[in-house]
């Protein structure tokens, strides 16, 4: 909508360097499209993206939705390196490497709702299995998003565990709003994710699909966005 562009350096292979995180997946486009239609959810707020990959969704939000702070996160070194390069390619300069104990102290001094033409951008190496509630609390996230992170049964429990840490780490802060976009490639895996959410006591609802599209890509009918209530 701003007329600005997103430039990416990405892999043409589905798996490259031992990871699937070096190209843009359908759910990332779907989530970005939905974000552009709901900019008020992001304006002036601190956004944490899980499994950012090479950064398309977050960069689009930074350029169009005026968040105050956007925290890109992933855990694969090659992905984090490419993500950092893509941020620079789009004129976004990440803060120095995240130090979990101190990196967000300045964030709490500004009130929510203050929009920024150029948001503060951070890149965090975030391992869902080892991150602590204290570290998540330090991020002060108002909104948590993720795209195409529900594709492997082996990582679902780690994701659910991290979402539970989000719910217990908020202290006196309001729980973050959580949105996860998924391409349903294997219905059994997706149903497992929903079942584990239910088992963990995390309520969820399906966000209605959008009717228009800014991006030229094949819109798959099996891409959904879940809002989670942690």
| CATH number of the structural domain spanning residue 153 | 3.40.50.150
Q: Indicate whether 168 belongs to any domain.
A: yes
Q: Indicate whether 104 belongs to any domain.
A: no
Top-confidence residue, 51 or 154: 51
Q: Indicate whether 21 belongs to any domain.
A: no
Full 3-state SS string of the chain: CCCCCCCCCCCCCCCECCECCCCCCHHHHHHHHHHHHCHHHCCCCEEEEECCCCCHHHHHHHHHCCCCEEEEEECCHHHHHHHHHHHHHCCCCECCCCCCCCCCCCHHHCCCCCCCCCCEEEEEECCCCCCCHHHHHHHCCCEEEEECCCCCHHHHHHHHHHHHHHHHCCCCCCCCEEEEEEECCCHHHHHHHHHHHHHCCCEEEEECCCCCCCCCCCCCCCEEEEEEEC
- pLDDT on residue 208: 81
- pLDDT on residue 13: 57
User: CA-CA distances (angstroms) from residue 136 to 23, 125, 202?
Assistant: 27, 12, 18
Q: Indicate whether 32 belongs to any domain.
A: yes
Mind listing the pLDDT tens digit for each residue in 129-152? Answer: 899 988 888 888 999 999 989 888
Confidence label for 105 from pLDDT (cuts 50, 70 and 90):
very low
Structural domain of 63: 26-96+117-211+220-229
Q: What is the CB-side half-sphere exposure of residue 161 using CA atoms within 13 A?
A: 11
Tally the domains of the chain.
1
Q: Is the pLDDT of residue 110 over 50?
A: no
Top-confidence residue, 16 or 25: 25
Residue 72 contacts by C-beta under 8 Å, 6 or more apart in sequence?
49, 52, 55, 58, 83, 87, 94, 121, 122, 123, 124
Q: Indicate whether 159 belongs to any domain.
A: yes
Share of the chain above pLDDT 70, in %: 75
| Average pLDDT, integer, range 121-134 | 91
Q: Indicate whether 102 belongs to any domain.
A: no
- pLDDT on residue 178: 95
Mind listing the pLDDT tens digit for each residue in 17-56? Answer: 555 555 676 888 889 999 999 999 999 999 999 999 889 9
Top-confidence residue, 192 or 95: 192
User: What is the Cα–Cα distance from 163 to 135, expressed in whole angstroms?
Assistant: 13
User: What is the Cα–Cα distance from 168 to 166, expressed in whole angstroms?
Assistant: 6
| Average pLDDT, integer, range 204-221 | 70
pTM: 0.86
User: What is the Cα–Cα distance from 171 to 175, expressed in whole angstroms?
Assistant: 9
| Average pLDDT, integer, range 85-89 | 92
- pLDDT on residue 151: 80
| Residue 28: Cβ within 10 Å count | 27
Share of the chain above pLDDT 90, in %: 44
Q: Is the pLDDT of residue 118 over 50?
A: yes
Confidence label for 101 from pLDDT (cuts 50, 70 and 90):
very low
Q: Indicate whether 197 belongs to any domain.
A: yes
Top-confidence residue, 70 or 138: 70
User: What is the Cα–Cα distance from 32 to 164, expressed in whole angstroms?
Assistant: 25
Q: Indicate whether 20 belongs to any domain.
A: no
């Amino acid at each position: 909508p701003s007329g600005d562009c997103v430039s990416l350096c990405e892999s043409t292979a589905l798996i490259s360097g031992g990871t699937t995180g070096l190209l843009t997946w359908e759910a990332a486009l779907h989530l970005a499209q939905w974000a552009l239609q709901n900019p008020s959810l992001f304006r002036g707020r601190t956004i944490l993206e899980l499994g950012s990959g090479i950064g398309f969704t977050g960069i689009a939000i930074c350029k169009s939705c005026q968040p105050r702070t956007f925290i890109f996160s992933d855990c694969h070194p090659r992905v984090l390196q490419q993500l950092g390069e893509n941020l620079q390619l789009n004129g976004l300069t990440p803060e120095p490497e995240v130090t979990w104990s101190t990196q967000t102290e300045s964030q709490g001094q500004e009130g929510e709702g203050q929009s920024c033409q150029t948001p503060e951008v951070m890149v965090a190496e975030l391992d869902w299995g080892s991150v602590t509630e204290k570290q998540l609390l330090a991020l002060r996230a108002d909104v948590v998003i993720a795209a195409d992170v529900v594709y492997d049964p082996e990582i679902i429990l780690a994701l659910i565990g991290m979402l539970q840490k989000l719910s217990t780490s908020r202290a006196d802060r309001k729980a973050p709003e959580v949105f996860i976009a998924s391409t349903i490639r294997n219905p059994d895996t997706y149903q497992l994710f929903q079942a584990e959410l239910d088992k963990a006591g995390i309520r969820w609802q399906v966000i209605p699909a959008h009717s228009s599209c800014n991006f030229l890509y094949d819109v798959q009918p099996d891409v959904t966005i879940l809002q989670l209530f942690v």
